[in-house]
Amino acid sequence: MSELIQAILDSEEKSDLRSFMSQLRQHDQNYLLRNDILNVFGEYCSKSEKPDNFYTSSHLGKLIYYTQEIIQEDSNLCFIIRPKIASQEVYRLTADLDIEPMTTEELLDLRDRLVNKFQPQEGDLLELDFGPFYDYTPTIRDPKNIGKGVQFLNRYLSSKLFQDAKQWLESLLNFLRLHHYNGFQLLINDRIQTQQQLSLQVKKAIGFVSDRPEDEPYEQFRFQLQMMGFEPGWGNTAGRVQDTLNILDELIDSPDPQTLEAFISRVPMIFRIVLVSAHGWFGQEGVLGRPDTGGQVVYVLDQAKNLEKQLQEDIILAGLEGLNVQPKVIILTRLIPNSDGTLCNQRLEKVHGTENAWILRVPLRDFNPNMTQNWISRFEFWPYLETFAIDSQKELLAEFHGTPDLIVGNYSDGNLVAFLLARRMKVTQCNVAHALEKSKYLFSNLYWQDLEDKYHFSLQFTADLIAMNAANFVISSTYQEIVGTPDSVGQYESYKCFTMPDLYHVVNGVELFSPKFNVVPPGVNENAYFPYTRTEDRVQEDRDRLAEILFTLEDPSQIFGKLDDPNKRPIFSMARLDRIKNLTGLAECFGQSQELQEHCNLILVAGKLRVEESGDNEERDEIIRLYHIIDEYNLHGKIRWLGVRLSKNDSGEIYRVIADHKGVFVQPALFEAFGLTILEAMISGLPTFATQFGGPLEIIQNKVNGFYINPTNLEETAAKILEFVTKCEHSPQYWEEVSRKAIDRVYSTYTWKIHTSKLLSLARIYGFWNFTSKENREDLLRYIESLFYLIYKPTAKKLLEQHQYR
């Protein structure tokens, strides 16, 4: 990128750069982000009457395109440039157009000075650098392979391991000896003592089972295999056992990464799983629409059900039914004594539709009953996590009668609890972020001190650094969640380098090229969410009842607004009422477009209707704002606002009722990490308009099975929806076409069967590599513990002291 800057300085564009820098210095802001920079450059091009191609094709235009931030200090400008995905370069340009590369440390100091201009930093801040811990581990080179960690890890470590045949066979033999269930040995017994015996006995066993009928049950020849050295776990029929042994035989004789993955994916090594979703209001009824719930609760419940189902299938295929192997999945959350009519005060609750999946609720210790007996916002929950993890360990050991095989954290607090549990129990840890707040709140790290009383980002961002580096593997729903797009920074990428002034500098917070990252998108609950055309699976009474609630029912306790014309095409959205979900932005978009109001009604399913009913500051602010927008744009008669709590089945049917009325679904979030509601709407058959900021970019194929919108541009958003609606009025088959393609998109890519198979495969493979590579992570884990005990814990203690007086 320095060459591009030099090319500008060596050309006639040097005067343009000087003029553009002069215009920047006149700007009100000292810190400009990418959109601001592009707008200022566009103004410059227009004001200077530049030709159309100058904006994109000139050297200066290219430099501006790659520039993520510009910071002004005195007469100098600092350009933070992102020449490619997961890469950053920083340069200082002086008034004389001298160019100087800047180090990461210099950049962080500059950002600090921007915040503390009247209180200069005295002495050095703590620098956090995780880079050295990844120096001796394999890293991906090509950015396009980020998120495909397990494939890379298989290739890399296989090539190393396979080079030494003796070491490889010894590692494989020792790995096969590891596995047991409740005292029962699995896979191989003491009759196989050496690598040579393993190879010979595998061939002997293959010959034995190949002479038997393929469908002969395992139990009928179990004794003969045991005499050869093979215990249960190879298969449930002669054909399955032969297939598994053939894969192992090929792996022994001519190993390759694909065969290794195929074999390890069959090894029975995971029976007990913990899914951590810590901060509460986690239940199966009465929790959706409450603060801090929604997509995460739906995701974890569906994941639990489908993981149990997949484990059961795997156990049957492995031939372990005879040992009475019972997989168990536990969702770990907090118990809320004052549970507002929900079951969140119940210690143990069985997950509907499962045999052995449970919600285990562990109470918080009573530091102050006014706090711990009630729901606590995710922004305030941090002081309770360590003792919650300690107490949860005892409960989990009791429920499982042993340790779990895998712990999956969800959200920032759940991931920190997963780290604490995995560290104490020496269990494989997987992280799922869902949404990292740092990307959602602009400058949240830079001005953390101003936001600390409300959001406590010092705790949240520290917890994120701890959990993402401690995890054995991380699953994200999308590629861009990790490293963004060519012109936007990813959620994890935003943790690479940042400052929290007066707290610490993060010089290298995460290794984005680590093979721990894997893209595994969630699925949709196909029992609750399915196409509106499947009328045989729909209940007419529910259909009529929900249509009445959506369009005509008058019930001031849970519905605001009466429609003048209920037959207009509905624009529908369903989400929490918070700033990021931006339902108020959609209402304002609708309010500003008279044409849209002529064609459509706006129907929102969104939390509470009254400020006094909400205990969440952000929700209260949004309630006030929504009423203000309705009055300002006189939307009475054109909008319905439903403050209802829906069961999952009702939630699914509501989408279908909207589809019956040929409506559209709009997801207007300012940022969306993934977007489960988008999948729910699409599989129901609703043409969907979704934010272009985040995961929807990978779910929707624009103008094919849905549409991107920029929710910050209200006029453009209204125009896109209006264009679709008017096209459907002239050509009704267009709505049907987009609807059908939306349904097809979900079924081909986003099912829970795909998700759970991949997740369990990853857990087995990472467990295998942790064993065979003998990776010593103790130095990294000790560094992480230092961060926990020296930064996180003292800060959490201060917040706990504040809670004592509430």
The most distant pair of C-alpha atoms in the chain lies apart, rounded to whole Å, by: 87
What is the band of 366 on the pLDDT scale with cuts at 50, 70, 90? confident
Answer whether CATH 3.90.1150.10 is correct for domain 535-750: no
* The pLDDT value given to residue 118: 57
pTM equals 0.84
The domains spanning 2-102 and 535-750 adopt the same CATH topology: no
Q: HEC profile for 147-158?
A: CEHHHHHHHHHH
The mean per-residue pLDDT over the stretch 759-763 comes to 93
Q: Do 622 and 671 touch, CB atoms closer than 8 A? A: no
For the chain, give the mean pLDDT. 92
- Euclidean distance between CA atoms 289 and 337, whole angstroms: 19
What is the band of 775 on the pLDDT scale with cuts at 50, 70, 90? low
* The pLDDT value given to residue 108: 95
The one-letter amino acid code at 566 reads P
pLDDT digits (tens, 9 = 90+) for 166-192: 888 888 999 999 999 988 999 999 999
Q: Do 570 and 658 touch, CB atoms closer than 8 A? A: yes
* The pLDDT value given to residue 122: 63
Does pLDDT of 336 surpass 80? yes
The residue among 213 and 115 whose pLDDT is bigger is 213
Phi, psi (degrees; rounded to nearest 5) at 142: -90, 120
Does pLDDT of 120 surpass 60? no
Q: Do 365 and 391 touch, CB atoms closer than 8 A? A: yes
The mean per-residue pLDDT over the stretch 280-294 comes to 83
What is the band of 254 on the pLDDT scale with cuts at 50, 70, 90? confident
Classified as helix, coil or strand, 225 is helix
Tell which CATH architecture fits domain 163-177+188-264.
Answer: Up-down Bundle (1.20)
The residue among 314 and 769 whose pLDDT is bigger is 314
Q: Domain-by-domain residue ranges, the chain?
A: 2-102, 163-177+188-264, 272-523+757-803, 535-750
* Helical pair 752-772 and 295-318, crossing angle rounded to 10 deg: 70
**CA 141, chain centre distance (Å):** 23
pLDDT digits (tens, 9 = 90+) for 614-671: 878 888 999 999 999 999 999 999 999 999 878 878 999 999 999 999 999 999 999 8
Does pLDDT of 245 surpass 90? yes
Q: Map tokens 């298989």 to a residue.
A: 154
CATH class as words, domain 2-102: alpha beta
* The pLDDT value given to residue 624: 95
The one-letter amino acid code at 246 reads N
Specify the range with the lowest mean pLDDT, choosing from 95-99, 352-356, 438-442, 759-763: 438-442
* The pLDDT value given to residue 486: 83
What is the band of 212 on the pLDDT scale with cuts at 50, 70, 90? very high
* The pLDDT value given to residue 1: 64
The residue among 137 and 188 whose pLDDT is bigger is 188
What is the band of 119 on the pLDDT scale with cuts at 50, 70, 90? low
The mean per-residue pLDDT over the stretch 265-271 comes to 95
Q: Do 427 and 380 touch, CB atoms closer than 8 A? A: no
* The pLDDT value given to residue 529: 93
* The pLDDT value given to residue 121: 61
- Euclidean distance between CA atoms 81 and 66, whole angstroms: 6
* The pLDDT value given to residue 205: 97
Q: Do 242 and 250 touch, CB atoms closer than 8 A? A: no
pLDDT digits (tens, 9 = 90+) for 476-533: 988 989 998 888 889 999 999 999 999 999 999 999 999 999 999 888 888 889 999 9
- Euclidean distance between CA atoms 537 and 154, whole angstroms: 43
- Euclidean distance between CA atoms 777 and 514, whole angstroms: 14
Query: How far, in Å, are 420, 508, 790 from residue 781 at the CA level?
Result: 11, 16, 14
Query: How far, in Å, are 114, 187, 572, 610, 760 from residue 552 at the CA level?
Result: 54, 63, 15, 21, 47
HSE-up (13 A, CA, CB side) for residue 745? 27
- Euclidean distance between CA atoms 69 and 46, whole angstroms: 22
DSSP-H helix ranges across 530-675: 540-551, 583-592, 594-599, 617-632, 648-660
Tell which CATH architecture fits domain 272-523+757-803.
Answer: 3-Layer(aba) Sandwich (3.40)
DSSP-H helix ranges across 237-384: 238-253, 257-264, 295-318, 369-372
Bridge partners of residue 694, in order along the sequence: 672
Residue 182 region, left (φ>0) first, then alpha (ψ -120 to 50), else beta? left
Does pLDDT of 343 surpass 70? yes
Does pLDDT of 572 surpass 90? yes
Q: Map tokens 């396979």 to a residue.
A: 162
Q: Do 653 and 544 touch, CB atoms closer than 8 A? A: no
Q: What are 662's two structure tokens?
A: 């040929």
Q: Do 138 and 161 touch, CB atoms closer than 8 A? A: no
Classified as helix, coil or strand, 340 is coil
pLDDT digits (tens, 9 = 90+) for 381-420: 999 999 999 999 999 999 999 999 999 999 999 999 999 9
- Bridging pattern class, strands 272-276 and 406-410: parallel
What is the band of 694 on the pLDDT scale with cuts at 50, 70, 90? confident
The one-letter amino acid code at 267 reads V
Helices (H) and strands (E) in the chain, counts: 32, 25
Does pLDDT of 544 surpass 60? yes
